[in-house]
Copies of this chain bind each other. A is one copy, B any other.
Amino acid sequence: MNFSESWPMWIQSPIYIGFFGLFLAAFFYMRILALPQGNETMVRIAGYIREGAMAYLFRQYISLTIYAVVVFIAIFFALGKEAAVAFLFGAFLSLLAGYMGMKAATHANVRTTEAAKEQGKGGALLTALDGGAVMGLSVAALGLIGLGSIYLMFKESELLSTVIHSFAVGASSIALFARIGGGIYTKAADVGSDIAGKVIENIPEDDPRNPGVIADNVGDNVGDVAGMGADIYESMIAAIVAAMAIAITSNAKQLNYVLVGNSEFEANKWAAIALPLILSALGLAVSVICIFIARAMKNMNPATVLRGSLILPPLLLAIVSYLVMNILAVTQAVTAIIAIGAIGGALIGLVTDYYTSSTPVAKIAQASITGAGTNLIRGLAVGMESTAIPLIIVVIVAYLSNKYLGLYGIALSAVGMLGGTAVIMTVDAYGPISDNAGGISEMSGLGPEVRNITDELDAVGNTTAAIGKGFAIGSAVLTVVALFSAYNMEVAHVREANNLPPLSLNITEPNILIGILLGSILPFLVSSTTMLAVGRAAGAIVEEIGRQFREIKGLMELKAEPDTKKIVDIATKAALREMILPGMIAILSPVFVGLLLGPAALAGLLAGSLAVGATMSLFMANAGGAWDNAKKFIEKGKLPGHKKGSDVHKAAVVGDMVGDPFKDTSGPGVAILIKVMSVVSLLIANLVAKL
Contacts of A477 in B (CB 8 A): 517
Q: How far is the CA of A379 from the CA of B531 in the complex (A)?
A: 10
Kindly state whether residue A612 has any CB partner on chain B within 8 Å.
Answer: yes
Are B615 and A520 in touch, CB under 8 angstroms? yes
Within 8 A of B (CB), among A495-517: 505-508, 510, 512-514, 516-517
Given contacts A514-B398, A528-B385, A532-B378, contact A521 B392 (CB under 8 A): yes
Majority SS of interface residues in chain A? helix
Contact between A508 and B484 (Cβ–Cβ < 8 Å)? yes
A614 near B: Cβ within 8 Å? yes
- Give the docked Cα–Cα distance between A311 and B518 (Å): 26
Q: Does A653 contact B (CB under 8 A)?
A: yes
CB proximity to B under 8 Å, residues A376-393: 376-378, 380-382, 384-385, 387-388, 391-392
Interface stretch of the complex, out of A145-153, A167-175, A603-611: A603-611
In the complex, residue of chain B having the shortest beta-carbon distance to the beta carbon of A380: B531
A525 on interface, CB distance cutoff 8 Å: yes
Given known pairs A371-B199, A371-B654, A535-B377, the reply for A387 and B614 (CB within 8 Å) is: no
A657 touches B377 (CB 8 A): yes
**Which residues of the partner chain B approach A447 to less than 8 Å between Cβ atoms?**
none
0 or 1 for each of A456-499: is its CB under 8 Å from B? (1 = yes)? 00000000000000000000010001001100110000000000
CA of A394 to CA of B385 in the docked complex: distance in angstroms?
29
The answer to whether B508 touches A381 (Cβ under 8 A) is: no
Q: Is there contact, CB below 8 Å, between A525 and B658? A: no
Complex Cα–Cα for A508 and B411 (A): 13
Residues in B neighbouring A195, C-beta threshold 8 A: 370-371, 373-374
For the complex, what is the distance from the CA of A520 to the CA of B611, rounded to whole Å? 5
> Knowing A384-B524, A488-B507 touch, does A394 contact B535 (C-beta < 8 A)?
no
Task: Tell me the bound Cα distance from A619 to B523 in angstroms.
Answer: 12
**Contacting pair A392 B518 (CB below 8 A):** yes
Q: Roughly how many angstroms separate A528 CA and B386 CA in the complex, as a whole number?
A: 9
0/1 per residue, A351-374, Cβ < 8 Å to B? Answer: 000000000000000010011111
A534 at the interface (CB under 8 A from B): yes
Quick check: A611 and B517 within 8 Å, CB to CB?
yes
Cα(A165)–Cα(B120), bound, Å: 71
**C-alpha gap A482/B534 in the complex (Å):** 39
**Contact of B380 with A658 in the complex, beta carbons under 8 Å:** yes
Residue A292 at the B interface, CB < 8 A? no
Asked if A242 CB lies within 8 Å of chain B CBs, one says no
In the bound assembly, the distance between CA atoms of A612 and B402 in angstroms comes to 25
Name the residue on B nearest A542 (C-beta). Answer: B370
Are B395 and A514 in contact (CB-based, < 8 A)?
A: yes
The answer, yes or no, to whether A308 is at the interface (CB within 8 Å) is: no
A484-B508, A527-B384, A611-B612 known; A391+B517 contact, CB < 8 A: yes
Q: Do residues A658 and B519 form an inter-chain contact, with CB atoms below 8 A? A: no
Chain B nearest Cβ from A381, distance in angstroms:
4
CB <8 Å contact, A654 and B485: no
Contact between chains at A535 and B381 (CB < 8 Å): yes
Whether A399 is near chain B, meaning CB under 8 Å from some CB there, is yes
Question: What chain B residues lie within 8 Å of A521 (beta carbons)?
Answer: 387-388, 391-392, 615
A248 to chain B, nearest CB (A): 16
B607 and A507 within 8 A (CB): yes
CB distance from A501 to the nearest CB of B (A): 15
Please indicate the chain B residues that have their CB under 8 angstroms from the CB of A370 in the complex: 195, 539, 542
In the complex with contacts A514-B398, A516-B610, A611-B516, A377-B539 CB distance below 8 A: no
Q: Using Cβ atoms and an 8 Å threshold, which residues of chain B touch A611?
A: 516-517, 519-520, 607-608, 611-612
Least distance between A368 CB and chain B CB atoms (Å):
12
Report, nearest first, the 4 A-B pairs whose CB atoms are least far apart: A373-B657, A384-B528, A520-B611, A385-B528
Given contacts A373-B654, A398-B517, 5 further A-B contacts (CB under 8 A): A370-B539, A388-B524, A391-B518, A507-B607, A611-B611
Q: List 19 A-B contacts (CB under 8 A).
A: A373-B654, A373-B658, A374-B539, A374-B657, A377-B658, A377-B661, A381-B531, A384-B531, A385-B528, A391-B520, A392-B521, A505-B506, A507-B607, A516-B610, A517-B614, A520-B615, A521-B615, A608-B611, A654-B654
- The interface of chain A, by Cβ under 8 A from chain B, is 191, 195, 199, 367, 370-374, 376-378, 380-382, 384-385, 387-388, 391-392, 394-395, 398-399, 402, 406-407, 410, 477, 481, 484-485, 488-489, 505-508, 510, 512-514, 516-521, 524-525, 527-529, 531-532, 534-535, 538-539, 542, 603-604, 607-608, 610-612, 614-615, 619, 653-654, 657-658, 661
